[in-house]
Structure 1
Amino acid sequence: MKIDEEDEPSMTIDHQVFKTYAVEYECTTMLQMKLEGRILVGEPFNAEPHRFGLISSYVTPVDLFYKRNHGPIPIVDDIERYRLSVTGLIEIQKEFSMRDIRDLPKYTVAATLQCAGNRRTAMSETKKVKGVGWGVAALGNAVWGGAKLADVLELVGVPKLSSTTLRGGKHVEFVSVDRCKEENGGPYKASIPLSQATNPEADVLLAYEMNGEPLNRDHGYPLRVVVPGVIGARSVKWLDSISVITEECQGFFMQKDYKMFPPSVNWENINWSTRRPQMDFPVQSAICSLEDSNVLKNGKVTVKGYAVSGGGRGIERVDISIDGGKTWVEASRYQKPGVPYVADGIHSDKWAWVLFEAKVEVQNGTDIVAKAVDIAGNVQPENVESIWNLRGILNTSWHRVHVRVGRSSM
């Protein structure tokens, strides 16, 4: 989409009016999240639901889906003049209207999006990190509807299953309408490899629906990218343009953020160029039916939560311990009601989380622990210390909640 004050005045809102509209919208969203979750940052708006509401259903209601922003929520209000430009190292440069996108075959994909900073607060308890202080609910599972990116690229001369174009393009960059301070007021952007973008089995979508309804402004109206199995930072919202380029996107959030460093790296000795941009997220799980600290009237408790792994890897097992990790029992796993979950089964949603449940009984104060194993045998690390990093991303250590038996003093 091109925004030009002279050529398309109806697409360009006066900056003060834009700010007013955006603030009014964010205030409404903020009030809603106060009721349904917790606000971590007011501007730009970042919020997550209460953990127990998160697992109330397999498909996360839009109102309970975490909200992650790097700048003010943009407003695109003239959908008839909206255009998505696809340019770069391709044979055909083309613009698409929303009608053009909707005329392409529509696909629906159940996929969990997860912020790379999910569970960052627990990482900060070991050693302070920089970033939004997410709890365990900076993720959600939705059914996304839209056109496959592979189909769109084929219309501009890039065949499916391509890893490079005739002109040397190897990556696909997504640029947002969103503006953020980290880009010095420029647009948010990110990229994925061309081989992933052109692979129909990767299910990369240009999504215009979420849970059967048009995207709302929080989640990228009118069009966003959904890259299943990859950290949420690559699923660019409020899509403005797509470009096929030679190298990875050089934007801030690809080159100077969302990279995994060892615990020895600090802000004095960091060298961003030594690490690749993070893409797939590791195997993850969290208990959501209990708070971090709990008082039980009796020792019986049902432990519920979510487990998910990146790259389309299903969840092979979720283990629960009631003695801090000395002994374990296996939890039941499920996705859709009435459909048995098989980690790599044809009826299972490979990009989506699984919910788990285990009934246990504790006698005294203890830590209840959850850890997941994916179909590749990847397992969550026991301690956060071994994966601590200065940006606090990818905290996938065992999730622990404390319980004690006895009546509360309240």
Structure 2
Amino acid sequence: MTVHQVEPYNAEPPRSVLVDAVTPVSAFYSRNHGPVPAADEESWRLRVDGLVTTPLSLSPADLRERFPERTETATLQCAGNRRAGLVAVKDIPGEAPWGPTATATAAWTGVRLADVLAAAGVSDTATDVEFLGADVSPQADPPQEFGGSIPLRKAGMPEVLLAWAMNGEPLPPVHGAPLRVVVPGYIGARSVKWVHRVRVTDAPSPNFFQASTYRLLPPDAEVTATPGEGVELGLVAVNSDFLTPDDDAEVPAGPTGVTGYAFAGGDRTIVRVDVSADGGSTWTQAELGEQASTWAWRHWDATVDVPHGEVELLARAWDSSAALQPERPEQVWNPKGYVNNSWARLRLRGV
């Protein structure tokens, strides 16, 4: 893993380990905002309150006993994925220079959030569902628990889980044990780890990490956003990148196989990926792999003609809404370094 920060622990894997449809737990990227909290499953309780008729206090065992178990294969992607490409345009102080692997896919097991909300009875005036984790972050002043919310309409969808396992194994502490939220199609920040409270509300969360941090600011904005400034990040924009060969690799000149991933948030799917070895003058349409679920990435592969010497390969993806990645990182640069979904670029040397 490339470790961007030891405490809190933030790390991403090498490109090549993401070539499988489901990512090994040991290679799943880790994005944290505070120390991993000590969690005891026996004493852990999930509080469900707010605009509900029957507040609940549920242990992990209660969740297993009261609600049907579900498994959903879903990709999570950090809003800062591929930030390094924006840093190359202009420095972004204080932010981890994530490469293209702050994204991964797992088979998540737990219960549907919708089932738990139905048991609590949601008020007709509710519009949002807020999650609070047990991790306390010093990034906020004063320090506060990490949290965020999603619209009630999304919370009621069957793919949103309160999960206790990934890839058939209990959640590791660094990935949210004993319980985390999984919100497919949304930025990873909404899949709150170590969740101990679900609060039904009539407004988006005022938590620092939703109101002030995970927001898309214009290029000339101050780095520190006032609450509510900019665009609240939610659905993942269409994105893609290369997985093999590695960046700056030497390869035999001539026909060369390349692979990568592409992903789009919401319920959108990837419908096309193109690869170019001549700066975009001509394009080769990639072969798309099978998609494990509506909520998972799609791998792709293509063969391109690599010349002798240095070459930069390009890749671009379309999703099912006909959205296309923007061409250059300069077009999407912002002072927090979020949502770099510009065309993927891979440097190779043909020998």
Pick aligned residue for 2:199 from 240, 243, 257: 243
1:258 to 214, 238, 242: 214
1:393 paired to 2:338: yes
- How far the C-alpha of 1:198 sits from its partner, in A, is 1.6
Q: Is the Cα–Cα contact under 8 Å of residues 182 and 252 in structure 1 kept in the other structure?
A: no
Task: Give how far 1:262 is off.
Answer: 2.4
Structure 1 residues 44-102: Cα deviation after superposition (integer angstroms, max 9, x where no partner): 110000111122x110000000011101111212x222211101111111111111111
Matched-pair contact (CA < 8 Å) for 1:84–1:97? yes
Partner of 2:307: 363
Q: Which residue of 1 aligns with 2:166?
A: 210
> 1:84·1:242 contact (CA, 8 Å) conserved in 2?
yes
The equivalent of 1:47 in structure 2 is 11
1:372 corresponds to 2:317 = yes
2:48 counterpart of 1:106: no
Q: What is the SS of the residue equivalent to 1:267?
A: coil
2:147 aligns with: 189
Rounded to whole Å, the distance in 1 between the matches of 2:243 and 2:194 is 30
Q: For residues 96 and 374 of structure 1, what CA distance do their matches in structure 2 show? A: 39
Q: Provide the secondary structure at the position in 1 that maps to 2:237.
A: coil
Shift of 1:324: 1.5
Q: How many angstroms apart in 1 are the aligned matches of 2:217 and 2:171?
A: 34
Amino acid aligned to 1:182:
Q
Runs (5+) with no aligned partner, structure 2: none
Alpha-carbon distance, 1:172 to partner: 0.7
The match for 1:179 among 126, 131, 136 is 136
1: CA distance, partners of 2:220 / 2:227: 14
RMSD: 1.4
Contact 2:33 2:137 in 1 (8 A): yes
Kindly report which structure 2 residues correspond to 1:203-352, keeping only aligned pairs within 5 A, or say none. Answer: 203-267=159-223, 271-335=226-290, 349-352=293-296
- Could you tell me how far 1:211 is from its partner in structure 2? 0.4
Which residue does the alignment assign to 1:58?
A: 21
Structure with the greater alpha carbon radius of gyration: 1
Structure 1 unaligned segments of length 5 or more: list them. 1-36, 159-164, 336-340, 342-347
- Residues 145-170 of structure 1 deviation map (CA, whole Å, 9 limit, x = unaligned): 11000000000112xxxxxx23x321
TM-score by length of 1: 0.82
- Map 1:8-157 to 2 at 5 A: 37-55=1-19, 57-77=20-40, 79-103=41-65, 104-130=67-93, 131-157=95-121
Q: Give distance in 2, aligned partners of 1:71 and 1:353.
A: 28
Moved more, 191-200 or 382-391: 191-200
Q: Equivalents in 2 of 1:267, 1:135: separation in Å? A: 21
Q: Assess if the C-alpha contact under 8 Å between 1:262 and 1:387 holds in 2.
A: no
Question: Which consecutive aligned stretches of 4+ in structure 1 deviate over 4 angstroms post-superposition?
Answer: none
Mapped contact 1:263–1:386 kept (Cα < 8 A): no
What is the distance in 2 between the residues matched to 1:272 and 1:387? 22
1:126 aligns to what SS in structure 2?
coil
**Structure 2 residue identity aligned to 1:194:** L
1:237 and 1:46 map into 2 onto residues whose CA distance is 14
Rounded to whole Å, the distance in 1 between the matches of 2:262 and 2:218 is 24
Distance across 2 between alignment mates of 1:94 and 1:403: 56
| Equivalent residue number for residue 345 of structure 1 | none
Given the alignment, which residue of 169, 190, 199 partners 2:126?
Answer: 169
Q: Tell me if the contact between 2:311 and 2:350 (Cα under 8 Å) persists in the aligned partners.
A: no
Q: Could you list the per-position Cα deviations for residues 250-303 of structure 1 after superposition, in whole angstroms to 9, with x for gaps in the alignment?
A: 1111011111122232438x5552323200010000001023323223333211
SS at match of 2:231: coil
Distance (whole Å) between structure 2 residues aligned to residue 245 and residue 175 of structure 1: 13
More helix by share: 1
- Residue 210 (structure 1) shift: 0.3
Write the distance in 2 (CA, Å) between the matches of 1:147 and 1:241: 15
Q: In the aligned structure 1, how far is the partner of 2:329 from the partner of 2:256?
A: 26
Paired residues of 1:88 and 1:245 also in contact (CA < 8 A): yes
Contact 1:73 1:217 in 2 (8 A): yes
Percent identity between the two aligned chains: 41
| Separation of aligned partners in 1, 2:245 and 2:343 | 15
**Which amino acid counterpart does residue 302 of structure 2 have in structure 1?**
A
Letter in 2 for 1:92: T
Q: Kindly provide the CA deviation profile for residues 172-220 of structure 1, in whole angstroms up to 9, marking residues without a partner as x.
A: 11011111112323211111111111233xx110001100111110110
